[in-house]
Amino acid sequence: MKFECRVLSIKERDKLFEEIKNQVNSTDIGAKKVSEKGTHLNILVKDLKPIAANILKQEMLSLGADCIVAKGALDLTIDRCNVILTGNLKQYRLLSPKLKLQPFGLKTLGKEINQTIRNFFKDEFILLSKDREIKLKKEKTYIMGILNVTPDSFSDGGKYLSTDTALKRVDEMLREGADFIDIGGESTRPGSERVTLDEELKRVIPIISEISKKFPDIPISIDTYKSKVAKEAVEAGAWIINDISGLNFDENMKNVIIQENVPVVIMHIKGTPENMQKNPTYENLINEIFSYLKKSIDLIENSGGNSENIIIDPGIGFGKTFDHNLEILNRLEEFKSFGLPILIGASRKSFIGAILNEPEPTKRIIGSLAVAAISSINGAKILRVHDIKETIQTLKVADAIRNEKCLKL
């Protein structure tokens, strides 16, 4: 007699629960228990005392899970170490009560592990912009249309410099289905030169003012790292501040965000636009991006701001090599550990051109759509793109597959 066997590739607890019910016809209680056991997570914990790492390992082993520690932790020959926990949801749920009884900060760690797991599975968000709510629903990936009012942006520089052409482009993007409009008055392409504060203000403020009058219900994002531009843009009608520096180029930016009570996109960048692509190197790419973003999130929270009013962006192409960009997209899901919406801006970028052997940005649309679909599946909530109609069609399919149903978006 032969049996039919296969490996189930279901990652989500709820979907695994339904599969168990459908395939096995088990009780709800049994399906719930197994779905928790079948949902597996590897969790990195950084900077533990070796003695705490050893206790953590023993507690994980006692639950049938595991924890890998540095070799120097066992004989206490190192001062601090990282560990990786490997277990299922049931084991992590049982871990926290055990850690409550332990010293060396493990009680706090138990709470943080639980919060990280809750963050990872969070799939709906509400952002507050003054007295307005921006709701990001579970089923949908949202589109941020790019409007560069610059003469030198890498793909569409010089096309929308006048108010009339800018308004026509916004109208076109909205008819195609854009959820946000991101307006930038200074190119941040690799090697680009900085513009003066006055010049950036002159480019963006009149256009933001006109767009907000004509399209009052569409959230406008201002792409700037200058606090004065951000403040005046919000006063002119912008809903969101999009800072490529992650609050690191202008120390007053955090104050504007808090005072104006608007969401902010904090992005990772290594270096500046002038030098960021001159041989960027990392000891550990994902670690360094994660720590950079966490520092900016903590800055907002410690300054009295709302840390849940943040969108994170790992910064594709901003101080990243070809391989770095691919690694970020492949491991994008790890950034869900913040419990914040993730934005990806990869549209038409040079790494796509390198894959396709296509030097012309406007001919990288199909490659950009592939990145959009993979980003959505891997956890991106917002995609900043040039090609609205094509991306929305792509995401309708990606979202339908991810949600296993046909969506009427």
The per-residue pLDDT for range 248-296, each reduced to its tens digit, is 999 999 999 999 999 999 999 999 998 999 999 999 999 999 999 999 9
Residue 150: the pLDDT is 82
pTM of the model: 0.93
Domains (range + CATH), the chain: 39-120 (3.30.1370), 125-403 (3.20.20.20)
Residue 162: the pLDDT is 82
The overall average pLDDT reported for the chain is 92
* Residue 192 confidence (pLDDT) above 50: yes
Mean pLDDT on 176-193: 89
Which residues are bridge partners to 384 per DSSP?
A: 144
Q: Which of 57, 349, 381, 402 is catalytic?
A: 349
Q: Could you tell me which residue, 30 or 391, shows the higher pLDDT?
A: 391
Residue 153: the pLDDT is 54
Confirm whether 384 is a catalytic residue: yes
Q: Could you tell me which residue, 163 or 197, shows the higher pLDDT?
A: 197
Q: Which of 169, 203, 336, 384 is catalytic?
A: 384
Name every residue whose Cβ is closer than 8 Å to that of residue 377 and which is 6 or more positions away in sequence: 398, 401, 402
Q: How does pLDDT run across 239-257, given as a tens digit for each residue?
A: 999 999 999 999 999 999 9
Q: How does pLDDT run across 60-72, given as a tens digit for each residue?
A: 999 999 999 998 8
